[in-house]
């Protein structure tokens, strides 16, 4: 999906919601455990109920990889359930030397045909460039994350500013706003403005709204640009809105509430 196509989808749906698919067997409704593939059934019903509201879906690979070969098969089935009008993100957080990154890029862009993949930048340019070689695909680079450990490295003060600022500025020059996004956590709204001074036109993937305590309005006020430029991710609040037979309908209601809050910014 190109940038223009993504913007058109946002405008058409009047939404910039990304639904994170983090399916946990210990949390999904118990009646689904009777299915041959509970994770697939759970995600499929969520997608069926929400795809007219969500602009993007972001399967978190950790929740599939932990299930071994069957988990990868489930991921493949779920990817096929996501409609073509939705932007798809493989939340893989890969990052390795060039030839290894090239194989990761082939996996997610060629075999699974995701629109985007999340990448860790701390091995440098050659670990990211292989992902940038694909026309119409996106690399989403960890910029400023929402976890407490972000203070260990990302927030370090250097002679040229915070380390995360240097990383974002460097990566922005390797790609462009047509193929590169950045992850910026919603729990750090005070720093969102500093990110926007570095990459005013890039899209930002913003986790941390909802269960992690991120402030939706503060994030929008600091992060929105002329093309909206945000994909607001919500996972647990949507996926686990109900543990009953109505879990998918409850997920839809939660999505509707989030999207309603987005109307003021569209």
The first and second tokens of residue 42, run together, are 């759970």
CA distance 112 to 50: 22
Q: Find the helix or strand (DSSP H, E) in which 10 lies.
A: helix 3-13
CA distance 129 to 194: 25
Say whether 199 sits in a helix, a strand or coil.
coil
Active site includes 93? yes
Q: Residue 266: CB partners within 8 Å, gap ≥ 6? A: 10, 11, 14, 15, 16, 228
CA distance 48 to 67: 23
Active-site residue, from 44, 93, 160, 253 = 93
Within the chain, strands assigned E span 17-21, 56-59, 87-94, 116-119, 138-144, 157-158, 161-162, 180-184, 203-206, 230-234
DSSP type of residue 185: -
Residue 189 · residue 144 · CB < 8 Å: no
List the catalytic residues: 93
């Amino acid at each position: 999906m190109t940038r223009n196509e993504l913007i058109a989808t946002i405008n058409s749906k009047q939404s910039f919601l990304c639904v994170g698919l983090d399916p946990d067997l210990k949390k999904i409704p118990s009646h689904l455990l009777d299915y041959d593939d509970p994770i697939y059934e759970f995600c499929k019903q969520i997608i069926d109920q929400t795809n007219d509201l969500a602009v993007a879906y972001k399967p978190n690979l950790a929740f599939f990889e932990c299930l071994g070969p069957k988990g990868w098969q489930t991921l493949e089935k779920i990817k096929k359930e996501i409609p073509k009008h939705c932007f798809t993100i493989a939340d893989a957080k890969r990052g390795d030397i060039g030839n290894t990154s090239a194989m990761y890029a082939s996996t997610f862009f060629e075999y699974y045909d995701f629109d985007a993949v999340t990448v860790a930048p701390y091995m440098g340019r050659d670990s990211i460039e292989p992902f940038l070689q694909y026309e119409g695909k996106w690399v989403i680079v960890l910029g400023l994350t929402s976890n407490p450990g972000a203070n260990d490295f990302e927030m370090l003060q250097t002679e040229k500013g915070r380390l995360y600022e240097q990383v974002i500025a460097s990566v922005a020059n390797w790609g462009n706003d047509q193929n590169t996004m950045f992850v910026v956590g919603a729990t750090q709204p005070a720093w969102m403005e500093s990110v926007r001074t570095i990459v005013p036109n890039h899209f930002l993937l913003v986790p941390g709204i909802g269960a992690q305590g991120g402030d939706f309005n503060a994030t929008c006020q600091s992060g929105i640009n002329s093309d909206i430029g945000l994909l607001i991710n919500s996972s647990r609040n949507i996926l686990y809105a109900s543990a009953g037979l109505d879990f998918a309908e409850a997920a839809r209601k939660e999505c509707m509430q989030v999207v309603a809050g987005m109307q003021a910014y569209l």
